[in-house]
């Protein structure tokens, strides 16, 4: 609508009439040079550009635009100072390619006499039937400039972009503008009270964007320690920090006192003046966040009114810098937490790779999505994916709490459905919907999917709470989503409370399992089933020999929409399992001879595996004790499983009992109760996991 209105504002003048452009300009009605009293002077101009960035139509007839040579057929960038051409060209091309407007940026235009005009420039795609771009130019009175600059500076929470916007606004008062921030502010830590000693400064922004002399401090560089002298003096003042003006190059060289510092800080070898305005955050005492520097060519001294305007602009925008600092701190904390939850490595029986992409390019929306994979003590591997409603540090903290609790419960031997039951209770205690949503997130309604892979039986036990179904790609079959029974999300008290189910699926070696969050498959133009189908097609193209990290990134790049509304998370797991010769399983009746039979079977197998004698003796004794306990306390058929894993052996004894073995206070002379003490001494670790038919006691013995 804005582009269409601007198009009507521009008189019709096609490119074919370029030869008569000047005559047309003379024939158009002009705004009087001296408007009648009470009449608003025209300050709006508009220009149409073709896809080559040439001017095809324009309306710059107001007196304020006098001197701008905007002839039809000329390049728009010819109106710019040379140093601004690369930046503005990049912005024009970006709007052409993406269609996203670039609104209200302070820009300078060159007049024919060498003077410059400060405007607020917006770039939009041209309204149909026109093609190309529409550029609006608002000649800026000083007060309008202050307002527009503050509005533009407050549009981003990225500290680098905020500093860049402030520098671009300050350019209206000089030829070069730079923003140097205290290093603690740049990293998000913040500055409190008055600083002692020297201040470490980092250059956060510099305009215009052009090639600078070697050694000159550019964005991302730290200023030399001696270069912080002016800011240090401002911080140590007992009263409020004030702007410092050095009127000429000789005074600058005298103050800096070092040719090296002059080359580092002065943008060129010509005579120059500089105004340094501290970025002060109001408080008791005031806190100095950094310093803004505006450089001018000689012969243009800073007037008192200009310094007041500079100080007002910096003062009105310092809080935006502090908001960006706070966001930087929160963002750093969120990313650190999220990286701690990302899978590290797969292991011998499974290979994993994960991708996480926040919804916004500057990662401002980092928060609720999480994935994790980790080996369980009994040799299995847990895979988890979840999504907490909302974004920010609160959502990330909830995500971390749920992930760590799930890991602890799975490591303690609980099944996936039991873990979800505990998480459901935890979510209900964390917050209520009203308080959570007021903070920008809610634990209520969080979704989670837990899968546990057994590398011996090559099966996956899976339970889901409101999460989208994983996609399985078997080695010899079509890819597709697993048929997971739907269940409400965690803490959904408004829904019918039903028990969580565990469903088991075959995952033979070479199978590929994909767990993900909805941001990867949601598309406003298609159903969620179509999105899952596209994911299945993309995952099925992963070759068994493809590097899984690269494959995961490729799948995300194919599926993730360009304009994401939600975070994108993907976990790929390639099932390897144990080789058949590295495992053995026996089923024995629960009789008195079960332990001797188990000893004989295990001893014979360990001899075939060429296990060391001392290791063989320990394993045989551990199996003997576990089988004897199963016969005595549990009953029913007994399953003995031995696994050769890495640098150790894993012994498992399953029975139908539901009691939990515990280390008792048994003494050396007691008739019983010493079996688990023997197991505890001979193994590196042992534990219990629960099954549908009873329990499994496992023990790891190092070789």
Q: What is the DSSP letter of 660?
A: P
pLDDT, residue 120, reads 82
To 10 degrees, the CA torsion angle through 434, 440, 444, 448? 170
In the predicted model, what is the mean pLDDT of the chain? 79
CA–CA separation, 199 and 233 (whole Å): 10
pLDDT, residue 383, reads 92
CA–CA separation, 464 and 462 (whole Å): 7
Range list for CATH 3.30.450.40 in the chain: 148-331
pLDDT, residue 36, reads 40
Q: Cα separations (Å) of 15 from 21, 30, 45, 54, 71?
A: 9, 22, 19, 10, 10
Sequence-distant (6+) residues with CB within 8 A of 235 are 194, 195, 199, 241, 278, 288
Which of 29-38, 293-302, 349-358, 468-477 is most confident?
468-477
**513: how many CB neighbours lie within 10 A of its CB?**
25
Average pLDDT of span 193-221: 79
Helical spans, DSSP H, in 587-669: 594-608, 613-633
Q: CATH topology for 148-331?
A: Beta-Lactamase (3.30.450)
Average pLDDT of span 440-467: 85
Q: Of 142, 178, 483, nearest to 313 (Cα)?
A: 142
Instruction: Decide which of 442 and 471 is more confident.
Output: 471
Give 17's pLDDT tier (boundaries 50, 70, 90): very low
CA–CA separation, 159 and 331 (whole Å): 11
R_g of the chain, CA atoms, integer Å: 35
To 10 degrees, the CA torsion angle through 169, 174, 175, 181? -60
CA–CA separation, 304 and 98 (whole Å): 43
Q: CATH topology for 2-140?
A: Beta-Lactamase (3.30.450)
pLDDT, residue 431, reads 62
Q: Cα separations (Å) of 151 from 144, 147, 308?
A: 11, 6, 19
Range list for CATH 3.60.40.10 in the chain: 342-575
Residue 37 pLDDT more than 70?
Answer: no
Average pLDDT of span 50-74: 87
pLDDT in tens, 610-633: 888 988 899 999 999 899 888 888
Q: Of 684, 462, 673, 430, nearest to 573 (Cα)?
A: 462
Q: What is the DSSP letter of 614?
A: H
What is the DSSP annotation of 100-117?
--EEEEEEEEE-TTS-EE
Q: Are 167 and 180 in contact (CB under 8 A)?
A: no
Q: Are 36 and 69 in contact (CB under 8 A)?
A: no
Average pLDDT of span 481-502: 75
pLDDT, residue 495, reads 53
Helix (H) or strand (E) holding 677: helix 675-682
Give 38's pLDDT tier (boundaries 50, 70, 90): very low
pLDDT in tens, 653-686: 998 887 777 776 655 545 555 778 888 888 888 8
pLDDT, residue 666, reads 59
pLDDT, residue 142, reads 58
pLDDT, residue 55, reads 92
Structure token pair of residue 107:
């820009």
Report helix angle 548-559 to 528-540, nearest 10.
150
Residue 446's φ and ψ, nearest 5 degrees, are -60, 150
Instruction: Decide which of 694 and 191 is more confident.
Output: 694
pLDDT in tens, 523-549: 777 888 888 999 999 999 988 888 888
Average pLDDT of span 98-118: 82
Q: Cα separations (Å) of 468 from 401, 450, 517, 545, 558?
A: 21, 12, 7, 27, 19
Q: Are 274 and 245 in contact (CB under 8 A)?
A: yes
What is the DSSP annotation of 299-353?
T-PPPHHHHHHHHHHHHHHHHHHHHHHHHHHHHHHHHHHHHHHS-----SSEEEE
pLDDT, residue 16, reads 38
Report helix angle 304-341 to 142-153, nearest 10.
10
pLDDT in tens, 253-277: 888 788 888 888 888 877 688 888 8
pLDDT, residue 497, reads 63
Residue 317 pLDDT more than 90?
Answer: no
* Options 3.40.50.450, 3.20.20.70, 3.60.40.10, 3.30.390.50; CATH of 342-575: 3.60.40.10
Q: Are 79 and 85 in contact (CB under 8 A)?
A: no
Average pLDDT of span 214-229: 82
Helical spans, DSSP H, in 154-289: 159-170, 183-186, 229-235, 249-256, 259-265
Give 24's pLDDT tier (boundaries 50, 70, 90): very low
Per DSSP (E only), the strands in 548-600 are 568-575, 583-588
pLDDT, residue 54, reads 93
Give 572's pLDDT tier (boundaries 50, 70, 90): very high
| 192 burial level (CB within 10 Å; 0-12, 13-18, 19+) | exposed
Bridge partners (DSSP) of residue 685 are 700
Range list for CATH 3.30.565.10 in the chain: 582-702
Q: Of 589, 585, 622, 631, nearest to 699 (Cα)?
A: 622
* Options 3.40.630.40, 3.30.565.10, 3.40.50.300, 3.30.1490.70; CATH of 582-702: 3.30.565.10
Q: What is the DSSP letter of 181?
A: E
CA–CA separation, 386 and 448 (whole Å): 4
Q: What is the DSSP letter of 538?
A: H
Q: What is the DSSP letter of 166?
A: H
Structure token pair of residue 577:
């399992």
| Cα–chain center distance at 1 | 34
CA–CA separation, 225 and 198 (whole Å): 7
Exposure string for 604-639, b = 16+ CB within 10 A, e = fewer: ebbeeeebeeebbebbbbbbbbbbbbbbeebeebbb
Average pLDDT of span 399-405: 82
CA–CA separation, 243 and 165 (whole Å): 20
pLDDT, residue 18, reads 37
Q: What is the DSSP letter of 146?
A: H
Residue 26 pLDDT more than 50?
Answer: no
CA–CA separation, 100 and 653 (whole Å): 63
């Amino acid at each position: 609508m804005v582009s269409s209105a601007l198009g009507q504002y521009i008189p019709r003048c096609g490119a074919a009439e370029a030869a008569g452009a000047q005559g047309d300009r003379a024939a158009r009605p002009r705004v009087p040079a001296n408007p009648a009293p009470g009449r608003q002077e025209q300050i709006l101009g508009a220009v149409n550009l073709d896809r080559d960035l040439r001017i095809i139509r324009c309306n710059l007839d107001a007196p304020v635009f006098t001197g701008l040579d905007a002839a039809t057929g000329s390049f728009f960038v010819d109106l710019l100072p040379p140093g601004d051409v690369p930046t503005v060209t990049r912005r024009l091309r970006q709007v052409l390619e993406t269609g996203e407007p670039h609104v209200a940026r302070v820009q300078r235009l060159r007049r024919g006499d060498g003077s410059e005009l400060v405007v607020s420039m917006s770039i939009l795609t041209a309204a149909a039937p026109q093609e190309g771009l529409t550029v609006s130019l608002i000649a800026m009175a000083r007060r309008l400039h202050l307002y527009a600059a503050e509005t533009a500076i407050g549009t981003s929470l990225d500290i680098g972009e905020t500093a860049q916007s402030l520098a671009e606004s300050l350019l209206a008062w000089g030829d070069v503008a730079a923003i140097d921030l205290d290093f603690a502010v740049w990293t998000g830590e913040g500055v409190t009270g008055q600083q002692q000693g020297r201040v470490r400064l980092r250059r956060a922004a510099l305009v215009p964007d052009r090639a600078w002399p070697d050694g000159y401090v550019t964005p991302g560089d730290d200023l030399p320690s001696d270069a912080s002298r002016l800011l240090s003096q401002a911080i140590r003042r007992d009263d409020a920090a004030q702007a410092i003006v050095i009127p000429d190059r000789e005074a600058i060289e005298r103050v800096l006192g070092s040719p090296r510092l002059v080359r580092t800080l002065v943008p060129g070898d010509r005579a120059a003046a500089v105004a340094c305005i501290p970025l002060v955050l109001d408080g008791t005492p005031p806190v100095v966040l950094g310093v803004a520097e505006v450089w001018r060519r000689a012969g243009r001294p800073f007037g008192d009114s200009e310094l007041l305007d500079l100080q007002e602009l910096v003062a009105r925008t310092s809080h935006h810098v502090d908001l960006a600092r706070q966001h930087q701190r929160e963002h750093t904390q969120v990313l650190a937490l999220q990286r701690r939850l990302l899978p590290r490595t797969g292991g011998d029986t499974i290979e994993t790779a994960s991708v996480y992409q926040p919804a916004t390019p500057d990662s401002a929306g980092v928060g609720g999505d999480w994935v994790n994979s980790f080996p369980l003590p009994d040799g299995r591997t847990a895979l988890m994916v979840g999504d907490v409603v909302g974004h920010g540090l609160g959502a990330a903290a909830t995500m971390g709490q749920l992930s760590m609790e799930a890991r602890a419960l799975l490591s303690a031997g609980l099944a996936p459905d039991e873990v979800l039951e505990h998480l459901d209770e935890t979510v209900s205690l964390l917050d209520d919907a009203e308080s959570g949503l007021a903070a920008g997130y809610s634990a209520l309604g969080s979704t989670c999917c837990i899968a546990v892979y057994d590398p011996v039986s090559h099966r996956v036990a899976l339970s889901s709470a409101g999460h989208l179904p994983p996609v399985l790609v078997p080695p010899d079959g079509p890819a597709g989503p697993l048929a997971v029974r739907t269940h409400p999300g965690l803490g959904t008290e408004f829904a019918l409370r039903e028990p969580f189910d565990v469903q088991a699926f075959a995952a033979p070696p070479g199978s590929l399992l994909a767990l993900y969050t909805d941001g990867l498959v949601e598309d406003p133009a298609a159903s969620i089933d179509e999105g899952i189908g596209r994911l299945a097609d993309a995952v099925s193209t992963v070759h068994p020999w493809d590097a899984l990290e690269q494959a995961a990134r490729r799948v995300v790049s194919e599926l993730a929409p360009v304009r994401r509304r939600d975070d994108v998370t993907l976990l790929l797991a390639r099932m390897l399992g144990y080789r058949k010769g590295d495992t053995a399983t026996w089923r024995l009746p629960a009789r008195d001879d079960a332990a001797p039979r188990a000893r004989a079977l295990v001893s014979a197998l360990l001899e075939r595996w060429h296990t060391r004698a001392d290791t063989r003796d320990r394993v045989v004794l551990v199996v003997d004790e576990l089988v004897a306990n199963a016969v005595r306390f549990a009953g029913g058929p007994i399953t003995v499983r031995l696994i050769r894993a890495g640098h150790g052996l894993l012994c498992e004894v399953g029975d139908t009992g539901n009691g939990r073995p515990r280390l008792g206070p048994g003494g050396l002379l007691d008739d019983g109760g010493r079996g688990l003490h023997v197991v505890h001494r001979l193994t590196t670790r042992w534990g219990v996991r629960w099954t549908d038919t009873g329990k499994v006691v496992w023990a790891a013995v190092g070789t």
